[in-house]
């Protein structure tokens, strides 16, 4: 397992569940993850649809949400085979086949109300394992 040395903030998380005060676990397979990074002066973007997720929420206050999103390192696609080979080599895909984002909370001052869509930033740790 390798922890990345930089703090990581997730992209915007959209939550739209009924706002009843209860604890619940939510799981997902499918969906997609998007990434952007820069190599020297070249921006690289890509995605993967080979992921799974599990999130624990206590509604209506989602600030204490926890969970994980896992994606297979080999499934990351940029649309350029050479870029993908270099990226997988830099990430050590042969030694670290899974990338796991562990959500430790959600940065929001709001609570989720019935029928509301809430945009928030997830806080957590990115691990190569």
* pLDDT digits 0-9 by tens, 15-43: 333 334 456 777 766 678 888 988 888 89
pLDDT score for 102: 95
Q: Which domain holds residue 41?
A: 2-128
Contact of 96 with 70, CB cutoff 8 Å:
no
Between strands 33-39 and 22-29, the pairing is unpaired
Task: Count the domains in the chain.
Answer: 1
pLDDT higher at 87 or 7: 87
Tell me the CA distances in angstroms from 22 to 1, 16, 82, one per residue in order: 34, 15, 48
CA 114 vs CA 11, 17, 63: distances in Å: 23, 7, 16
Domain at 44, CATH number? 2.40.128
pLDDT in tens, 56-78: 888 788 888 899 999 999 999 99
């Amino acid at each position: 397992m390798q922890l990345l040395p930089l703090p990581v903030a997730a992209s915007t998380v959209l939550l739209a569940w009924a706002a009843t005060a209860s604890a619940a676990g939510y799981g997902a397979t499918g969906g997609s993850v998007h990434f952007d990074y820069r190599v020297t002066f070249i921006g690289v973007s890509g995605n993967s649809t080979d992921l799974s997720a599990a999130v624990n929420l206590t509604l209506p206050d989602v600030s204490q949400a926890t969970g994980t999103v896992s994606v297979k390192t080999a499934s990351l696609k940029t649309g350029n085979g050479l870029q993908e080979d270099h990226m997988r080599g830099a990430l050590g895909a042969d030694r670290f086949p899974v990338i796991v984002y562990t959500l430790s909370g959600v940065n929001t001052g709001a609570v989720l109300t019935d029928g509301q869509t809430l945009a928030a930033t997830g806080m957590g740790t990115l691990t190569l394992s």
